[in-house]
Structure 1
Amino acid sequence: MTDQAQAAARSLHPQRWRLLGFLGAAQLMLILDVTVVAVALPQMGADLGLARDSLTWVVSAYTLAFGGLMLIGGRAADIWGPGRVVTTGLLIFTTASLVTGFASNAETLVGGRVAQGVGAALISPAALSTLVRIFHGEERNRALGVWSALGGVGAAIGVLLGGVLTAGLGWSWVFWINVPVGLVVVVALLRLMPPLPGSGPGTRLDVIGAVLVTAATGATTYALIDAGHRGWGSGRTMGLVGLGLVLYAVLAGWLRAVRQPLFEPRLLARRAVLAGTFVLFVTTALMVSVFFLGTFHLQEREGHGPLVTGLLFLPVALATMIGAQLGGRLIGQAGGRRLGVAALVLAAAGLVVPALATGTVSTVVAVSVAAGGLGALFVVASVTALAQVEPEDAGVASGVLSTFHELGATLGAAVMSGVAAASLVTGSGAGFERAYLVAAAVALVGAAVTAALIPAPVPAPEGAAAR
């Protein structure tokens, strides 16, 4: 984009930073709704008489719908415009939150969580697509830094907020808190959202492609959830993994054959998109590992209650925010490759410490160091994948990123629950130590792959205008 075009784009959106604030509030709700609900599960089970499997599905139903439908949400944003899609998603999410809070049985509770996931799958890629289209150059990097910080901050705040709401007002309020926030954000977006048109009435949603990608992603996500309970070698887990791979293969053939595919396969063939997607997948898996291991470690081994554990995670949230903001400022100078490798090495260093030194202080400090590196990596992933994407593909590219965000989160939780299984039951240290070492090793392997995969920055021609 030329300087003149960039200036024109900026002049159309004078309130873009306020808009980022409200879109960020919407995204924060989606992130909060994983950890805030997890803390409230014991009280839900006691009040409604829910079995262990039903409680598991209260969390899994949301992540399954969220992860499985995001490519459709992203493509819908490209076709009908991100403003319309994000407000529709917010209305669905807010209504579902109200209904779920009134649930008196497992069916209503799980059904409400599925509906929340549908709304979230529309909101997240459409909101990210909006940011890609209204911010440019270094401003985009800083905006993505803010956006990226929401992941870790939201997860940490969710642990604390879930404990406070459940202990005070009751578990229903972990859902009802979304209602006033959602309505305020909808009203604000109706006033602030600029006209970002879609691709026009001649473009149709590829229904068959949408069904295939939803089924493939749903089967894969379900397999990862199932692996955390039944083990990776169970027949059902392996069958679901195989089904997901077959459906993805069928989807690849369909996308090449249809005139107006759900998304162009060439998008995923781009090295930058592939690299950014890989970094986000690994980063999210590691971030979930940090929260999963940290919360259980501090409660089961160190003996802290849920509220104290939530407070101890505030430094982790702050470190994530600082890492994301520094990442947004440094990536333009250092480049995605160098910053990504450095951040993954930093994350590995933080994750290995709790495996070698026990104690509350050392665990919190080390996990905060790791979270700082992971915060920067969210920016690396977003900027690398989306920097060169055309506006008409911004929604589906955001949907691809968001899908792998959820797959990474699900895989991280499944793997860590398996590796740390003994400690989760007995509170002993061996399983936790082994899991921290596995997470550190994943970070180091990720650093090596990142160094090879992210393209080197192309130097600007001498005398070229700064963008």
Structure 2
Amino acid sequence: MVILDNSIIFTGLPSIQTTFGFSPTGLTWVQDAYTLVFGGLLLLGARAGDLVGRRRMFTLSLVLFSLASLLVGAAPTDWWLVTARALQGIGAAILAPSSLALLTASFPAGAARNRAVAAYSAVAGIGASLGLVVGGVLADWVSWRAGFYLNVPIGIAMLVAARRYIAETETRRGRFDLVGAVCATVGVGALVFGIIEAAEAGWTAPTTGAAFLLGILLLAALGANEARAEQPIMPLRLFTDRHRNGAYLVRMLYLGAMIGFFFFTAQLLQGAWGFTPFQAGLAFLPMSGVNFVVALLVTRLVARFGSTPVLATGVALTLVGMAWLSRVGADGSYLTAVALPMVLIGIGQGLAFAPMTTAGLAGAEQRDAGAASGVVNTAHQLGSALGLGILTAVGTVAGPSGASATDALVERVSAALTGGSVMLAAALVLVGVLIARPSRPNPPASVADAEPEARSAAARDAVTVPAR
């Protein structure tokens, strides 16, 4: 459900913009309202499953996500749509960690659990590719709203199945770090708003300055709260290791670039090249297919060449593909201007995600394994939201005044993808500076657990980026 919705939204963006009259910057909030709330509340959602019961939170999140999907499909106005997407983000922030936690709790450690997690990842990968096509078909032949209505019968069926087949897990005593979750969500949201507002109103506008000030104050409050919280959702000791800090930063930059790739390429194909939503969904298949195959092989490649070389190669190939795609014009050839760059991007994604996840977990103490995995996924979501805001601002500023709508769209897309290339170049530098260094002597025993934990976190990655 989660991955399908995330994929469907991209092929439906042009139709949504036409329906509600969103500006290019306003359209960003259709995606960012979801990812901001998802990322900001993800750690709190995982904690809720531990304290209240994972099946209970799983069923609650199904109800919430299905209801929000119904509200998205029925949205009569733009503010209704954005609010309903934020509500979906709340549901996803509980649903994603609860589903994987239930999966790992239902199978013993070892081969059985590894097969279950592999199946989970495979379903997510298939759902990503399928979502782009299904979203295109529905937007083309029915309406962009139909994709969201699909979640209602699926959610009802899953609720019935959950009550029949899933046992409740044991609960623990503890506290919710609600202050930390709110500071993280609203703080990053204020920064994103400030970036987008600067593109329209200017950097000196009072609203821009106020948004940046609020964001900085809330993120500072987040740090202070986590330092003194009895049970923080983001323990500050996780940020004392250079490897992990590098992995968090690389992930944010990488996901910021990739969310921009999907967001702007879908608009280019339909708005400038005249593709139907269905054709646009099919146009992403070269990347989706290659990505899926490489993701199945990446464990062997890491075992043979090492995690860091595979990560660096993946980021470098994604950078080459993104830079190539950024040169696209209104009259280019699909094969050479889009499909071949997408193949490189797909290979790069398949190579990069697993070692990026492993680097974000390496060296974490056993007591912090869950929190470290949560921070990895929070960086994933919030990096996507912040990156899309930055690339939207870059594209808006680059759009030529007085140009035709098609030319202006092509210029916006080209500028945004160029900005994404810069993000990837920065990520590649950080891989070399912060991650690619000799391993520390006498690593803690918990490092040996990084790979199984990485597989679990990598599976959760799949719910956020299409074509995982």
Q: TM-score range by the shorter chain?
A: 0.7 to 0.9
Tell me the residue number matched to 1:427.
407
User: Which range moves more in the overlay, 125-134 or 162-171?
Assistant: 125-134
Tell me the residue number matched to 2:87.
115
Percent identity, aligned pairs only, is 30
Task: Report whether the alignment pairs 1:170 with 2:143.
Answer: yes
User: Which range moves more in the overlay, 422-431 or 175-184?
Assistant: 422-431
- Residues 76, 395 of structure 1: 8 Å contact kept: no
* Paired amino acid for 1:167: D
- Residues 254, 423 of structure 2: 8 Å contact kept: no
Tell me the residue number matched to 2:430.
449
Task: Report whether the alignment pairs 1:359 with 2:333.
Answer: yes
Q: 1:349 aligns with which of 320, 324, 329?
A: 320
Tell me the residue number matched to 2:225.
254
TM-score (norm 1): 0.77
1:373 positional shift: 0.5
User: CA 1:364/1:267 → structure 2, altered by over 3 Å: closer, same or farther?
Assistant: same
1:318 positional shift: 1.4
Tell me the residue number matched to 2:175.
204
TM-score (norm 2): 0.77
Task: Please give the alpha-carbon distance, in whole angstroms, between the structure 2 residues aligned to 1:51 and 1:438.
Answer: 22
Tell me the residue number matched to 1:440.
421
Q: Which structure 2 residues correspond to residues 109-148 of structure 1 after superposition, within 5 A?
A: 109-129=81-101
Tell me the residue number matched to 1:14.
none
Task: Please give the alpha-carbon distance, in whole angstroms, between the structure 1 residues aligned to 2:17 and 2:134.
Answer: 15
SS in 2 for 1:204: coil
Task: Please give the alpha-carbon distance, in whole angstroms, between the structure 2 residues aligned to 1:272 and 1:77.
Answer: 29
User: Which range moves more in the overlay, 51-60 or 367-376?
Assistant: 51-60
User: Which range moves more in the overlay, 435-444 or 342-351?
Assistant: 435-444
Tell me the residue number matched to 1:243.
214
- Residues 338, 451 of structure 1: 8 Å contact kept: no
Task: Please give the alpha-carbon distance, in whole angstroms, between the structure 2 residues aligned to 1:441 and 1:110.
Answer: 29
* Paired amino acid for 1:91: V
Task: Report whether the alignment pairs 1:306 with 2:286.
Answer: no
Q: Deviations over 1:200-242 (max 9, x none)?
A: 22x1113333333333233234335545655666543343233
Give unmatched runs, 5+ long, in structure 2: 453-468
User: CA 1:267/1:107 → structure 2, altered by over 3 Å: closer, same or farther?
Assistant: same
- Residues 100, 109 of structure 1: 8 Å contact kept: yes
* Paired amino acid for 1:400: V
SS in 2 for 1:427: helix
Task: Report whether the alignment pairs 1:87 with 2:62.
Answer: no
User: Which range moves more in the overlay, 55-64 or 72-81?
Assistant: 55-64
Tell me the residue number matched to 1:274.
245
User: CA 1:197/1:342 → structure 2, altered by over 3 Å: closer, same or farther?
Assistant: farther
User: CA 1:291/1:170 → structure 2, altered by over 3 Å: closer, same or farther?
Assistant: closer
Task: Please give the alpha-carbon distance, in whole angstroms, between the structure 1 residues aligned to 2:211 and 2:136.
Answer: 34
Q: Which structure 2 residues correspond to residues 62-81 of structure 1 after superposition, within 5 A?
A: 62-81=34-53
Give unmatched runs, 5+ long, in structure 1: 1-25
Task: Please give the alpha-carbon distance, in whole angstroms, between the structure 1 residues aligned to 2:147 and 2:407.
Answer: 28
User: CA 1:274/1:167 → structure 2, altered by over 3 Å: closer, same or farther?
Assistant: same
SS in 1 for 2:232: coil
User: Which range moves more in the overlay, 65-74 or 391-400?
Assistant: 391-400
* Paired amino acid for 2:134: L
Task: Please give the alpha-carbon distance, in whole angstroms, between the structure 2 residues aligned to 1:144 and 1:231.
Answer: 47
Q: Deviations over 1:418-461 (max 9, x none)?
A: 33442794426555444444433332331121123226557999
Task: Please give the alpha-carbon distance, in whole angstroms, between the structure 2 residues aligned to 1:335 and 1:81.
Answer: 38
User: CA 1:266/1:72 → structure 2, altered by over 3 Å: closer, same or farther?
Assistant: same
1:414 positional shift: 2.6
1:303 positional shift: 3.7
Tell me the residue number matched to 1:403.
378
RMSD: 3.8
Task: Please give the alpha-carbon distance, in whole angstroms, between the structure 2 residues aligned to 1:56 and 1:214.
Answer: 17
Tell me the residue number matched to 2:10.
35
Task: Report whether the alignment pairs 1:414 with 2:389.
Answer: yes
